[in-house]
Structure formats: C-alpha cells, structure tokens
A and B are shown apart, each in its own frame.
Chain A
Amino acid sequence: MKTDWRKSGAILGLILGPVGILYCLPFLVSGQPYLLHVIALSCLYAIPAIGLNVMLGYTGLVSLGHMAFAGIGAYTAAVLMVDAKLGFWSALAAATLAAGAAGFAVGAICLRFRSHYFMIVTLAFGLLLHSVMNNWDAVTRGAAGFPGIPRPAPLALGEWAYPFGPLPNFYRLALTGLLVAFAFQWLIVNSKFGRVLAAIRQDEKLAAFKGANTMLYKTTAFAIGSAIAGFGGVLFVSFLRAASPDAFSLAESINMVLIVIIGGAGYLAGPILGALLYIGVPEYLRAANELRLVLFGALLVLITLFAPQGLAGLLERGWRRLRR
C-alpha cells in the first residue's frame, strides 16, 4: 500500500507540477505580453482541436466542418450574452449544449455516409453553417461580425475580485478551459465508451458484429466533439470580444484537422502540441517576412515525413528509446 501511495503521489506531482507552472506563467513572462497572448490563443485553438481529436483521433471521423460547431457555440453565447443579457457562465453552458445538440443532429445525417463521402458532407454542412453566420444579419450581425461580446464578470470573494479583462487573467481562464477539455477527453478515452470508439476506429464492421451500435456511438462522438468545439468557441470570442464568421470558415476547419494531425491524432496531448506549433511558430517566423509561410509549410512537410504520427507520436518514440 505504501508503494501505491508513493506512486500516486509521484503521478500527482508530475501532473500538478507542470500545471502549477502553467498557471504561474504570467509571472514568468511578465515582460512579454505578446508571448502570453500567443500562448492564450494556442490554448483557445487547442480546445476545439481536442473535440476534433475525439472524432478524428479516437473514432476515425475526419470532419471538415468542425469549426462551424465552434461557431454555433460562439454565436449562441454572443446572442445570449449581448441580446438576452444572460451571464457568461450560463451562456457558456447553453452554448456548449447547443453545439453538442447541433453536432448530434448533423452527425446523424453525415454519418450515413462513409470515408470521403462523409468528409464531403461535413464540408458541405460547414459551408452551410458558415453561410448562415455570414448572412443572417438580424441575429449574427453578418459579415461585419458580432461586436461587444463581454468577458466573464469578475470572480468576487468579499473584497477580493478577479477580473478577466487583463490578459494574464484571461490566459488563466483559457488554460482552465483547456484543462477541463483535456480532462474530459481523458475520461472519454479511458471509459468503456472510449474503448468502443477505439474499436470502431480499428474495424467498424467487426465492432458492430461484436454488439456495438456503431451509428449511435459515432453520432455521440460527433456530438461530444462538437460540444467541446462550441465550448472553445465561446472562450475564443470572449477573448477577442467579437465574433466573426471568418473565424469559423472552411479554412479554419481545415487548419483544425492539420493541428490534430501535426500534433498527433489519437494522442491525448496531440491537439495541444499541434495548437502550440500551428499558432506559435508562424507568429515567431514573422521575422522571415514573406518567407514566413514558405518556411512554415516546409516545417509541416518535414513533420509529416518524419513524424507521421505527429509530434506526440515523435515524443512517444523518443521516450521509448530513452527507456530501452
């Protein structure tokens, strides 16, 4: 028993240590607000990427319309907060549920198709939803974007208050959102439900003959992935204080697929590594001026060539070699 406690303590330390450092990061980079901004943005991109990882990495569903569900979450929260004067946290919960419900409905249709047909139908739904965001002026404010989306009200405890306006504070909120999404992903992957998703990814026909209602499982995975995307979408527009249809376009959905694949599809940490690379590296390549995207493209090609299982796969391989 004593050994078990030690082991548990060590694991807890291994988790809490880095998490503690991440929460203290604003103090460590206090003179570099731009760096903190990029890291906060990476956290906000990593959340919908985690949703996509549940679908793509763990279930084998490549959706090309994923960011549209982040948009559903974002616009639902925007309307609820700005027009219906609902509080941030209630709007966040409602928007997450709305994105999940939309994901279930759209998934139930898209999942009647397989492989590239499925991808095309998700792409079509993504375009359709983007078009609604772009043109439904009365609700979404159209192409001009939805301004004035508030940040959460300050957390108050007696005289002490924690406002989310300052960047370091919002960064901690984004980090908390990311950790919640990550923990949820971990719970899914390590649950019986997650085992069935893993089986479906490997051989859907066999999983069905083993007794899994694969359509229901896949639709549920699609809904969960969409709900996580919606959750991330709310935090994203609250960070920017505005929602724009372009943030949820086809290009952004394709970027999300790249983030998951480059980070490592089917790895818990894959979406986080992918988001850090995909958001962070182009920002720090700005010094290369017009060569920036060329260099970034070359880097992506190299990763695909030498780390086909993404950065997380590369790290796992390296770790295994070290342990040999």
Chain B
Amino acid sequence: MEAIAPMSLLEARAVEKRYGGVVALAGCSVVIERPGIYGLIGPNGAGKTTLFDVITGATLPDAGSVGIEGRDITGLAPYRLKSIGVSRTFQECRVFPQFTCLENLLFALQLHGGGKAKEAHRMLELVNLHGSAHEPASSLSFGQRRLLEIVGTFIVQPKFLLLDEPASGVNPVLLETLADFLRTMYRERPGVFLIVEHNMQFIMQLANELIVMHQGVVLDRGAPAAIQASPRVIEAYLG
C-alpha cells in the first residue's frame, strides 16, 4: 500500500475495487487538503458510492489506501470512524424509524459520551423539524426523513462529512432548507464536506469545488464554473 501524505486532511490513494468482472474503482486517487464543500459528481457507475464505502470502511479495497489527517484508516471498522470525526449518509435514506426524531439525534450523542438535548432541538429547528421532535421518524415524509438523516450526521460535530445524494427525492422547498442547513453548519464548524450528487443545480450552488469521477477514476476537479466548461467533463458527463 502506498503511504499517506502527512499534510492531507482526507486522502484516497490508488484505490482499486472490483465486483466480479466489474471495475468500480480503477486506481482512484483523491486528495483533499483544505476544509470546504466538495461535490463528487459523475455518471452512474462512476464509482462515487464505492469510493465513499471504501473511505468509510464499509467496503475493503482490493488495492490502495485511505488516510485521514495522515493516519491510515484503510479498512477501519465503521463504528470506529466517529472517534476520528467521520460521519456519513447513504444513497438510501437511513434513520431509525421507531425512534422519535429527537431520539434519532440523541442516539448518536449517547454513543459518544452524551451531549446536550438543547443542541439536538436547535438542529431540528434549523430544518423545521422541531414540531415533530417527539414523533417517530417513520411518520415523516421522505424528504423530512432525509433531512433528519443529514442532521443526525452533524449532531456529533464531525470534521469529515460524506453525504451520498442528499438531494435525491427531496422536494424543491426542502432542498432550499437543506442547502441553508449545510451552509450554516459549514459556517459554524468548517470541515471537509464531501457530497455525492446528481442534482447539478443543487451541487453547483453549494460546492466550492467539484471532483468529477468517470469509470472508477477522477476525471477532473476544480471550481464549479471551470468544471462546467471543461471539455472532458462535458463529453463524459454533462453532455
């Protein structure tokens, strides 16, 4: 395995992953050196979610390494990620349906030595879910559940946040709420926000930088405007 650069905040180096004959990641390398909101975009099958899974230990890579702040975390068990400040969401919306909204947030705090219910209430208020604080998560609409899922990742104050298609299935009104919430969180606690997204309008207005993946490798990266004008990206993805 290749060494992790000591100065990078988050680094995936030469990561390879195959599922049978399908190559999901073909020596993919991503280095993030500064806090910021990063959009991870690309066509379906580009390897974005697999990269998330490898970074968060949900999938072991066939080759390559993953590092956080100079520490090799390749294959680290998911439950240990929280202690190094990594939090993530999934393509399919995941909340604890039988817990109330508040319990969903407090659960993560409980596992990390407790925390203030006041902060959980404030976060619910930021996404207009405070009225449903004591309702079971199963009673929420899909978009609201998505917001709850995302709020749940912020409650433990992660330094590295990986969101997998947060805008998927969320209506335009809630999308605005979500974008405002993410900006507020970034303003309050700047970290590395890595967001996989297909909703280009949403990610373009939110991200400081876009990383474009194609066929298991990084095709290009840069400011949103530059990416929109990139001939390689236009050919492979934006069309």
Residues of A in contact with B (beta carbons under 8 Å apart) = 192, 195-196, 198-199, 202-203, 205-214
Contact = CB atoms under 8 A, between A and B. Distances in A.
A198 B107 CA distance: 10
B81 A198 contact: no
Given A195-B110, A196-B111, A211 B83 contact: yes
Contact of B88 (A198, A203, A209): A209
B181 interface: no
Interface in B108-122: 108, 110-112
Given A192-B110, A209-B56, A203 B96 contact: yes
Interface string B96-137: 111100010001101110000000000000000000000000
Contacts of A198: 96, 98-99
Q: Which 5 A-B pairs have the closest CB atoms?
A: A211-B82, A211-B111, A206-B94, A208-B78, A202-B96
Contacts of B108: 210-211
A207 B107 CA distance: 9
A214 B111 CA distance: 12
23 contacts: A192-B110, A195-B103, A195-B107, A196-B107, A198-B98, A198-B99, A199-B96, A199-B99, A202-B96, A202-B98, A205-B94, A207-B96, A209-B56, A209-B88, A210-B107, A210-B108, A210-B111, A210-B152, A211-B112, A211-B156, A212-B111, A213-B77, A213-B79
A199 B106 CA distance: 12
Interface residues of B, number: 25
A198 B96 CA distance: 9
A206 B79 contact: no
B107 A199 contact: yes
B95 interface: yes
B79 A214 contact: yes
A208 B112 CA distance: 13
Given A199-B99, A199-B107, A211 B79 contact: yes
Among A202, A207, A211, A213, chain B packs the most CB atoms within 10 A around the CB of A211
A206 B82 contact: no
- Of B77, B82, B103, B107, the most chain A CB neighbours within 10 A belong to B107
Contacts of A207: 96
Contacts of B152: 210
Contacts of B156: 211
Nearest to B114: A192
A287 B94 CA distance: 52
A196 B103 CA distance: 11
A209 B56 CA distance: 9
